[in-house]
């Protein structure tokens, strides 16, 4: 189907994501931060959908919003909220942080201004991109990039086994 009101949805999602991101770092209550992070992640999934990448959007929802954030909340719930609320929120590293953020922002702006011509302009993406997106991802992952994919999965397996070994003394 043809896209409708694209700028509106883009700004809506992007705005939600920004607000969510800001709330993540300003909330004193860790659970509220996590909630804001979930909102930001969901908005990001929406942006992926707008980029005709439904598979990435779905994975984003399942893995980040559904899986990882649940584990985050799991840990946060066991933390003493009263104590964290009294602690100072911004520590001495704020100068370094601002510098790093400014550098990263500068990089983004530079890429945006210099590389504007490199990216394809507006207009419709090639037909079938949305309909066959998942299939294309699958064919690429299990065809062309099979080796890289398997290496990544092996790395994850090592991480899982390492975590189990470290957490459990007696196996």
Partner 1 sequence: MTDPITLSTLDLETKDKTFLDANELVINMGPQHPATHGVLRVILRLDGEKVMGLECVIGYLHRGVEKIAENRTYTMFNPYVDRMDYVAAVSNGLGYCETVEKLLSVEAPPRAQYIRVILTELNRMASHQLWLGTHALDIGAITPLFYTFRDREEILKIFEKYCGARLTTHAFRIGGLQYEAYDGFEQDVKKFVKFVTPKIDEYEELLTTNRIWVERTKGIGVISAKDAIALGVTGPVLRASGVKWDIRKAQPYANYKNFDFEIPTGQNGDTYDRYLVRMAEFRQSLRIISQAVDGLPEGPVMAKVPKVMKPPVGEVYHSIEAPKGELGYFIVSDGSTQPYRVRVRPPSFVNLQALDVMCRGQLVADVIAVIGTLDIVLGEVDR
Partner 2 sequence: MQPIIDYVTSYLSNKTQTPGGAGNFFWAFVYILLVFLGLSVAVIAMNWLERKILAHMQVRLGPMRVGPHGLLQPIADAIKLLLKEDIIPAEADGVIFWIAPFIVVLAAFTVFVVVPFGPTHAITDMNIGILFMLGVSSLSVLGIVMAGWASNSHYPLIGALRSSAQMVSYEVAMGLAVVSAILMTSLQGQGLGLYGTGVSDATASGTLSMIGVVQAQQAQGVWFVFKFFPLGLIAFGIFAIAMVAETNRAPFDLPEAESELTAGFHTEYSGFRWSLFFLAEYSAMIAVSSIAVTLWLGGWLRPFPNLLSGSTWDLVFNLFPAITFLFLAALCFYSTSRMPKHPYFKIQTMGLAGFGAVLALIGFVLFIPAVFIRVQDIYWFSIKVAAFMYLYIWYRGTFPRYRFDQLMKVGWKVLLPTGLGLLILTAAMGMRTELWTGVAMPLWHWVASIL
Expressed in angstroms, the distance from the first to the final Cα of the chain is 54
Based on the number of CB atoms within 10 Å of its own CB, is 74 exposed (0-12), middle (13-18) or buried (19 or more)?
exposed
- Please list every residue from 99 through 118 that binds partner 1, using CB under 8 A: none
Tell me if 78 contacts partner 1 by CB under 8 A.
no
Site for partner 1 contains 83 (CB under 8 A): no
Residues 41, 60 contacting (CB under 8 angstroms): yes
Q: Select from partner 1, partner 2, none the partner in contact with residue 169, using the beta carbon and a kind-dependent cut-off of 5 to 8 Å.
A: partner 1
Residue ranges in contact with partner 2 by CB under 8 A: 1-2, 4, 29, 31-32, 35, 38, 54-55, 57-59, 61-62, 65-67, 69-71, 73-74, 77, 130-136, 138-139
Query: Contact between 170 and partner 1 (CB under 8 A)?
Result: yes
Q: How far is CA 37 from CA 8, 19, 42, 64, 80, in A?
A: 22, 10, 9, 10, 20
Residues that bind partner 1 (CB under 8 A): 167-170
């Amino acid at each position: 189907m043809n896209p409708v009101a694209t700028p509106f949805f883009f700004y809506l999602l992007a705005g939600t994501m920004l607000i969510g991101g800001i709330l993540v770092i300003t909330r004193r209550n860790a659970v509220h931060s996590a909630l804001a992070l979930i909102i930001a992640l969901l908005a990001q999934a929406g942006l992926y959908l707008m980029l005709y990448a439904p598979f990435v959007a779905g994975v984003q929802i399942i893995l980040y919003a559904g899986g990882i954030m649940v584990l985050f909340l799991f840990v946060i719930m066991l933390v003493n909220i009263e104590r964290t609320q009294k602690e100072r929120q911004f520590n001495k590293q704020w100068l370094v942080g601002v510098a790093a953020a400014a550098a990263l922002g500068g990089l983004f702006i530079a890429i945006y201004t210099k590389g504007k011509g490199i990216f394809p302009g507006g207009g419709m993406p090639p037909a079938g991109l949305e309909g066959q997106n998942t299939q294309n991802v699958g064919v690429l992952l299990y065809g062309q990039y099979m080796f890289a994919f398997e290496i990544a999965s092996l790395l994850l397996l090592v991480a899982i086994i390492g975590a189990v070994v470290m957490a459990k003394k007696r196996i």
